[in-house]
Structure 1
Amino acid sequence: MGLAPTGLGTSAARFFLRPESPAPQLFCPGPVRDDRALGEQVNRAVVRWAEQVGIYPGRLDKLRTADFGRFMMLAHPNTSDPDRLLAATKCLVAEWAADDYYVDEVSLGADPMVVGSRLANLHAVVDPAALPRRYAADHEEHHRLQPISVAFRSAMEHLARYTTAAQMGRFQHQMAILFLAWTQEADWHANRRTPPVWEYLVQRHLNNYLPPMILIDVLGGYELSPDEFYHPRVREAFTTAGDAAVLVNDLYSGKNESETDHNLPTVLTAHEGLTPREALLRTVEIHNELMTSFVTLAASLSATGSPNLRRFLADTWAWLGGSREWHATSGRYHDSQGEDS
C-alpha cells in the first residue's frame, strides 16, 4: 500500500539553522503531485469566498499568499475535482481564521479571557443548537454578525454536498476536540504560563492536523466505516499521523510567531535547558518517532483491514507528504515561494 518511506524529505529544521553541521532528515514523504494550476484555481476561489463571508478584511493578500488552495491540492492527490478541494479549503480557512481571530492574533480581537465563550458559541453553529423559539432569534442574530460563524456555516454547507451523515458527524466531533484544545492554550496565555513538555504535547494531540485530515475519504469519494474509523488501533494510527504533521507546522511557523506563542522548540528550550538549535533537532527527533509509530501501526492494520482502510491509510501517508511540501513553500512562512527546507 505504499506506506514504506520512499524518499525522505530534507530536514525542516535546516530552514532555521546555519549550515555549519548536518541536521537529521525529517522522516516524511514528498508530495504525490503538484498541480500548480489546480491549486491556483482553488486558491482564487477560496479568497473570493473569504471576502464574501467577511473574514480577513484588508488582509486578503496575505490569505492569497498563504496558498491554502495549493495546500489542499497537495494533501489530497486522490481527487482532481476543484469543487471538492474548495469545500475542504473553505473548512481549513474557517478553522485557521477562528484560531487567528479568537486565540492568537490580538490585532484581530483575540482575547484569552473570552476564548471559552466564543468557541462554545461557535460550536453551536458547527453542531447546530436547536434553541427554544423564544431565544432562537437572538442566537441567529449573534451569529449573523460574526464572520467566523458565517464562514463555518458556509463551509459546512458546501462540505455537506460530499459527506455522509457519519462523515459530517466525525468532522463535528473533531471540531469539539479542537475547540477544547484552544481553551487550554488560552489558559496558558491568560496565566502567562509556559506548559511543561508533556502538557504541550497533550495540547498538540488535541490541536493536531486531524480537522483537515478527517476529510481524506470525503475528498476521495469513499467512506471508511465508523467501526473501522473509530477502532482504537485505527484511531491511534490516525491521531499519531496528525500529531506528527502538526510538529512540522511547529518547525516552520516558529519564526513568525509572537513571543507569547508556544511551539515545541520554545517549550523544550524553556523546560529542558536546550539551545534553540538543540530544541529544533529534538523536535525533528520527536516527529520522526511519531512517524515511525504511524508507519508500524499502518502496516499492521493494512494486513488485516478492509480495502477502504488500506486506502485510507495510504491516503493519510500522501496527505503527510503534501502537507510537508506546503509548509516548506507557503508564503505564510516564507518570504518567497520555492525555498528549500
Structure 2
Amino acid sequence: MLRTVDLGREILTDFTSAPSGHLSALFVPKIDLAPSGLGTSAARAFSPRPEKPAEPRLFCPGPLRDDRALGEQVNEAVVSWAEQVGIYPGRLDKLRAANFGRFMMLAHPATSDPDRLLAATKCLVAEWAADDYYVDEVSLGADPMVVGSRLANLHAVIDPAALPGRYLADLEGYHRLQPISVAFRSALEHLARYTTVTQMARFQHQMAILFVAWAQEADWHANRRTPPVWEYLVQRHLNDYLPPMILIDVLGGYELPPEEFYHPRVREAFTAAGDAAVLVNDLYSGPNESENDHNLPSVLVANERLTQREAVLRTVEIHNELMETFVTLAASLSATGSPTLRRFLVDTWAWLGGSREWHATSGRYHDTKEEKS
C-alpha cells in the first residue's frame, strides 16, 4: 500500500508494509521465527535489502502483529495509571490518543500478556513524561538551567541512593512531590516482577546514559546553540530507543546472558537498531516540534544548507545505513551465536517494525480523526 507521509511543507513518499506479518518488496523479507537452525539458514534470515530505488525509502519491516483489542486494553490501563501517579493532569486525552499501549503491543509480539505489556508501557510513559516535563515542554515546567539537577535526583529513584538516615527523609520528601519520581518508582516496582537482577541493572544503566543525553540537549537549549551534525548524532546515539528496547527479552520471558548482551559486536548491532529507530521518531515528530527543538532534518538544514526535502531524504539514507549495519551484524551473529542470541535479534527486528507502525499511526504525531490512506 502506498502511503505519503506529510513531513511539514515537504512530502516524503514511502511504502508501508502490507497487512500484518508481511513486508512489501522494498523491505527485507520477514524473518523466520522458528527456533531451529543456526548457520547459513539463520544468516539468510537477515538478508540484504533489495537494490536501492532512485529515491531512498525507509528500510524497515512492518509489524508482525496488530492486536488492536490488546493494545487498547493496555493503553486504557496505562492512562488510568498515569492519572493515579499524577502525570499529565488535564492532558490524559492526549496521552490516550498517543496510544502507548498499542506501541508496546506492536513492538513485543512475543507476548500477549497484558500485565507484562503494561509494565513496559509504564516505563515508556514515565520516560516520555520525564522528557516532556524536564527537557522539552516549557508549559510543563521544563527549564534547561536545572535539567542536570532534576535528572540526577530522578536517577536516585531509578538506581536507589543509599543516603545516611538523617538525610533519607529529605530525599523521600522531595520525590513524593515529584510526579515523575512517583511514576518511575511505580513503573519499576511493576517491572521488577518480570526482570532478573541483571536485566534490571541493564535498564538502570541505560537510563543513566539517556539522562546524560538529555543534559547535553539542555546545554544546546540554554546556550541557544544548534549542534553540528556529528554532535547531534552522538546525542541521538545516547538518546536512542534502547531504554524501551532493552526490555525485549524481559517481555519475551527469557534472558540474553550478559556475556552475549554486552559483547561488543552484539552491542554494536543493538545500538545501530536503536539509533535507526530513533531517527524514525525524528521523521515523524519533526512537524510537531517547536522551532527551538532539534531533529536530524532541522540540524541538516542548518548545517549543510539543504532544503527540507533534501534533509528528510538524507535522514532516510542515514537511517537505512544504520539498519544495514544491524542486518549485516545480525546475520553474522545469528550464524555463530547461541539460539537465545538469535531469538533476541529476531525480537529486535520485530520491535523495529512495531515501532515504525506506531509512529506512522499514533495520535501523538497525527490527527487520528482523519481517514488514513
Common fold by TM > 0.5: yes
The aligned counterpart of 1:239 is: 271
Deviations 1:293-315 (A, max 9, x none): 10000000000101100000000
Alignment identity in percent? 84
- Verify the 8 A CA contact 2:6 2:12 in the aligned structure 1: no
Mapping of residues 296-311 of structure 1, within 5 Å:
296-311=328-343
Q: Does 1:17 align with 2:10?
A: yes
How is 1:79-98 mapped onto 2 (pairs within 5 angstroms)? 79-98=111-130
In the superposition, relative to structure 1, how do residues 13 and 318 fare at CA in structure 2: closer, same or farther (>3 Å)?
farther
Residues 127 and 172 of structure 1 are in contact (CA less than 8 Å); yes or no, is this contact kept in structure 2? Answer: yes
Amino acid at match of 2:10: L
Residue number in structure 2 paired with 1:228? 260
- 1:107-118 → structure 2 map (5 Å cutoff): 107-118=139-150
Partners of 2:267 and 2:244 in 1: how far apart? 15
Q: SS of the counterpart of 2:97?
A: helix
Deviation, structure 1 residue 317: 0.2
Deviation at 1:336, TM superposition (A): 1.5
CA contact (8 A) 1:11 1:25 kept: no
**Equivalent residues of 1:11, 1:26 under 8 A apart:** no
* AA in 2 matched with 1:43: N
Structure 2 residue matching 1:168: 3-state secondary structure: helix
Report the counterpart of residue 45 of structure 1 in structure 2: 77
CA distance 1:57–1:210, shift in 2 (3 Å)? same
Match of residue 4 from structure 1? none
Bigger shift: 20-29 or 237-246? 20-29
1:24 is displaced (CA, Å) by: 2.5
Q: Which amino acid aligns with 2:211?
A: F
**Mapped partners of 1:19, 1:245: distance in 2:** 17
Q: Say whether 1:295 aligns with 2:327.
A: yes
Give the superposition deviation at 1:225.
Answer: 0.2
User: What are the superposed Cα offsets for residues 148-197 of structure 1, whole Å, 9 maximum, x if unpaired?
Assistant: 00000000000000000000000000000000000000000000000000
Hey, what's the Cα distance between the residues in 1 that align with 2:343 and 2:12? 39
Contact 2:7-2:286 within 8 A present in 1 as well:
no
Structure 2: which amino acid aligns with 1:55? I
Q: Quote the offset at 1:18 in angstroms.
A: 3.9
Equivalent residue letter for 2:244:
P
- The 1:283–1:339 alpha-carbon spacing in structure 2 relative to 1, beyond 3 Å, is farther
Residues 19 and 304 of structure 1, relative CA distance in 2, 3 Å threshold:
closer
CA distance in 1, matches of 2:264, 2:322: 17
Inter-partner Cα distance in structure 2 for 1:184 and 1:231: 27
C-alpha distance in structure 2 between counterparts of 1:60 and 1:39, whole Å: 17
Aligned residues between the structures: 334
Q: Distance in 1 between matches of 2:257 and 2:2?
A: 32
Deviations 1:232-263 (A, max 9, x none): 00000000000000000000000000000000
Where structure 2 has 5 or more consecutive residues not aligned to the other structure, the ranges are: 15-53
> d(CA) in 2 for partners of 1:48 and 1:32?
27
**1:10-159 alignment, distance < 5 Å:** 17-18=10-11, 23-159=55-191
Query: Do 1:79 and 1:219's aligned partners in 2 also have CA atoms closer than 8 Å?
Result: yes
Cα separation, 2, equivalents of 1:162 and 1:16: 45
Q: 2: distance between equivalents of 1:305 and 1:161?
A: 28
* Unaligned 5+ runs, structure 1: 1-7
Larger relative helix fraction? 1
Amino acid at match of 1:44: E
- TM-superposed deviation, 1:337: 6.1
Provide the rounded CA distance (Å) in 2 between the counterparts of 1:16 and 1:77. Answer: 35
**8 Å CA contact retained: 2:280, 2:356:** yes
Structure 1 residues 313 and 338, CA gap change in structure 2 (3 angstroms) = farther
Query: By how many angstroms is 1:17 displaced?
Result: 3.2
Note the 1:187-202 alignment, pairs <5 A. 187-202=219-234
Q: TM-score, length-normalised on structure 1?
A: 0.95
Letter in 1 for 2:81: W
Scaled by the length of structure 2, the TM-score of the pair is 0.87
